[in-house]
Amino acid sequence: MGKANWKPTIESCRFVPASQVANGLPKAWQALIESQPPFTWGDNNRNMVSIDDLRMQMEQLSDDGAGGMSQIKKFIARLDAIPDSVPYVDLEN
């Protein structure tokens, strides 16, 4: 197949950077990192995690009585404030 015949499929993705969600909530962010969540980040350009999966992880931290409880609750409230049309949080930004 020649280059002239090839047409890529261009994808787009709506997301909120984790740095916005975690802004001013260092204890919540640290609790998330230390919880060994079922998703990873590092050395990626983008790392999309569904808001539902991230919320479940933060709710588990809340249920477990992790440190920074008030910040964890604020983090969850910020996730809840993200419009339904935005399905992801990018952990790399």
pLDDT digits (tens, 9 = 90+) for 29-82: 999 989 888 887 777 788 899 999 999 999 998 877 766 889 999 999 999 999
In a domain, 60, yes or no: yes
- Residue pair 62/72 in contact (Cβ under 8 Å)? The answer is yes
Q: Strand 48-50 vs strand 15-17: parallel, antiparallel, or unpaired?
A: unpaired
In a domain, 11, yes or no: no
Q: Sign (positive/negative) of CA torsion 17, 23, 42, 83?
A: negative
| Structural domains in the chain (count) | 1
- Residue pair 69/28 in contact (Cβ under 8 Å)? The answer is no
Q: pLDDT grade, residue 13 (50/70/90)?
A: very high
- pTM, 2 dp: 0.84
- Residue pair 75/25 in contact (Cβ under 8 Å)? The answer is yes
The range of the structural domain enclosing residue 58 comes to: 16-36+48-90
In a domain, 2, yes or no: no
In a domain, 7, yes or no: no
| pLDDT for res 2 | 57
C-alpha 32/C-alpha 30 separation (Å) is 5
| pLDDT for res 4 | 74
| pLDDT for res 66 | 67
- The conformation of residue 49, written as its DSSP 8-state character, comes to E
- Residue pair 4/29 in contact (Cβ under 8 Å)? The answer is no
| pLDDT for res 32 | 92
